[in-house]
Amino acid sequence: MAQKPSIPKGTRDFSPAEVVKRNYIMNTIKSCFTTYGFQPIETPSFENSNTLMGKYGDEGDRLIFKILNSGDFLRKVDDTLYSEKDSGKLTPKISEKALRYDLTVPFARYVVQHQNEIDFPFKRYQIQPVWRADRPQKGRFREFFQCDADVVGSKSLWQEVEFVQLYDAVFNKLNLEGVTIKMNNRKVLSGIAEVIGAEDKLIDFTVALDKLDKIGEDGVKKEMREKSISEDAIEKLQPLFQVSGTASEKLNLLKDLLASSETGMQGVNELEFIVNTISEIGLQTATLEIDVTLARGLNYYTGAIFEVAAPEQVKMGSIGGGGRYDDLTGIFGLKNMSGVGISFGLDRIYLVLEELGLFPETVSANTKVLFINFGEEEALYAMKAVAKLRKEGITAELYPDATKMGKQMSYADKRNIPYTVLAGGNEIQAETYTLKHMKSGEQDAVSFTELRAKLM
C-alpha cells in the first residue's frame, strides 16, 4: 500500500488563490521599498554554521536548523566523542551548514564580503524564506518569508524616522488600519539593568521582559528569579509593569528612572527625537507608541527597537519588527558600520488581511474567459482569438479537450471564470463569438473588437 503523502509540521502548501494574495502583499511591500530608495539583494538559503551560530542568543541558536554534512558524516567523529552523546560537541563535527534563521545576519555577512562594491549608506531590501525549528502554532511556522529593509553605514536617527514612515506607508497601502508601531531602545534597557544592579544579567533580563505580553507580570518575575535576578532588582522594576499614558508621560517616567545612567538617558533622548519628529511629520494609518517593556530577545540590537502589533480585534502576534545594530558587521571583521532595519511578517500579515476581509476583489488567480472546445477546426479559430487577447493582457484559455459542453461549463464555474466563449461553425462562418456571462447567463454574439472591449 502506498504511503500517504504529508509535509513537515510548520510548513504549508499554497493554492493558486493563496499565492496570488501573498504576491499582492509582497508587491505592495516591494513598491514601498522601491519608493523609499531600497535596492534588492538575495542570499543563499543556507549559510556556514559559524555565520549563524552565536548571533541570536541561546534561545535563537536552539531554533536553527542544521544541515548534516554530505556522505558518511560520522566517519570522522572520534569514538570517545560519539560515546559521550553530547549534541553540543558532536554537532560541529557532523554539520557545517545551516538554514538561515533570519535575513539580517546573512545581510551583515553580505555587506562585509562585498564592502568594496557597495556605496554607503547602503539601503537594501530582501524578500526570501527563513527557517526556525519553533513549535508551530497560529501565525508561527517553521518555514516562512521575511520581508526586510535595512540601511548600513549611517548612525543618523533620520533612518529610524524613515522606517516608522515606511511601516505606515505599507499598512496604509494595504488598507490595514489600527496598526501600532511599538518602539523602545536597547540603551534604555541597558540603563534599566544598570540602575537596578543587574548589568551582568542584561540578556536574561531582556529575554524575560520581552515575554511580558505572553506570560504576564508574574511569569516575567518568575523567570527573572530563575535567572538569579535579585528580589531587590525586580522590585525596582515595578514602575515598568504599570506604565501607561502618552509618549511624553512614558518618556518622563524613564527620565526619572534613568537619571543616574548616562547610557539610559542617551536611549531616552533618541526615543524623544523619533517621537517628536514623527509627531511633526504625521502618520497616515499607523500609531507610534513607546513600549518600555519591549525588549526583543536578540543579542544584536544596540539602539532603537521596533515591533508592530496588528489591530486589536485580531488575535495575532507581531506582524513586523526590527531595530538598530551598531556592531553587527563587527562580528565579521568590519568595525564601525552602524545599521538599522525592519522586517515585515508576510504570513501573519496575510492572516490579518484574510481575517479582516481586506484583500481587494481584483486580487485573483482566475482566468477572465474560457473558450469552449467544439473540435479541431473550432479550437483553431478560438486559439487565434485567445492569442490576440493574451497580447492585450487579458487572461484567456481554451479548454484543451473537445468533450461535453456541460463538463466544460462546469469547469469554468468551479474555477469562478466569469466569461465563456462559444465559437462553433455558425460563429466561424459569421466571424463572430458568442460571449456568455457565467453568473447572469446572458450571452451575445460579438465581433472580436467587441469581445476585446467587453473583457478589458
365-394 pLDDT, tens per residue? 789 999 999 999 999 999 999 999 999 999
Closest CA to 161 of 272, 66, 33: 272
Residue 134 DSSP code: P
23-61 pLDDT, tens per residue? 999 999 999 999 999 999 999 999 999 999 988 878 888
State the Cα–Cα distance between residues 290 and 263, nearest whole angstrom.
Answer: 18
Give how far Cα 94 sits from Cα of 133, 185, 317, Å.
18, 39, 35
Give how far Cα 247 sits from Cα of 103, 206, 233, 268, 278, Å.
31, 21, 25, 11, 12
Average pLDDT over residues 171-194: 94
Average pLDDT over residues 191-204: 83
pTM: 0.86
Residue 297 DSSP code: S
How far is Cα of residue 201 from the mean position of the Cα atoms in its chain?
Answer: 30
The pLDDT assigned to 297 comes to: 55
The pLDDT assigned to 3 comes to: 86
393-432 pLDDT, tens per residue? 999 999 999 999 999 999 999 999 999 999 999 999 999 9
For residue 30, the cross-strand partners are none
State the Cα–Cα distance between residues 223 and 204, nearest whole angstrom.
Answer: 9
Residue 137 DSSP code: B
State the Cα–Cα distance between residues 141 and 348, nearest whole angstrom.
Answer: 10
How far is Cα of residue 120 from the mean position of the Cα atoms in its chain?
Answer: 25
First-residue to last-residue Cα distance in the chain:
51
The pLDDT assigned to 82 comes to: 63
Question: Helix H segments across 125-246?
Answer: 158-173, 186-195, 202-209, 212-226, 231-236, 238-242
CB 255 within 8 A of CB 214: no
427 CB neighbour count, 10 Å cutoff: 19
Residue 201 DSSP code: G
User: φ and ψ at 52, to 5 degrees?
Assistant: -95, -40
The continuous run of DSSP H or E covering 97 comes out as strand 97-99
Comparing 10-14, 73-77, 79-83, 191-195, which segment has the lowest mean pLDDT?
79-83
Comparing 221-235, 281-295, 345-359, which segment has the lowest mean pLDDT?
221-235
Provide the pLDDT confidence category of residue 83 given band limits of 50, 70 and 90.
Answer: low
CB 399 within 8 A of CB 413: no
Provide the pLDDT confidence category of residue 239 given band limits of 50, 70 and 90.
Answer: confident
Q: Is the pLDDT of residue 129 over 80?
A: yes
Q: Which residue has the higher pLDDT, 326 or 449?
A: 449
State the Cα–Cα distance between residues 263 and 279, nearest whole angstrom.
Answer: 25
Give how far Cα 377 sits from Cα of 53, 369, 373, 405, Å.
64, 20, 9, 16
Q: Which residue has the higher pLDDT, 223 or 97?
A: 97
The SS3 of residue 396 is strand
The SS3 of residue 309 is strand
The continuous run of DSSP H or E covering 101 comes out as none
CB 338 within 8 A of CB 154: yes
State the Cα–Cα distance between residues 334 and 311, nearest whole angstrom.
Answer: 40
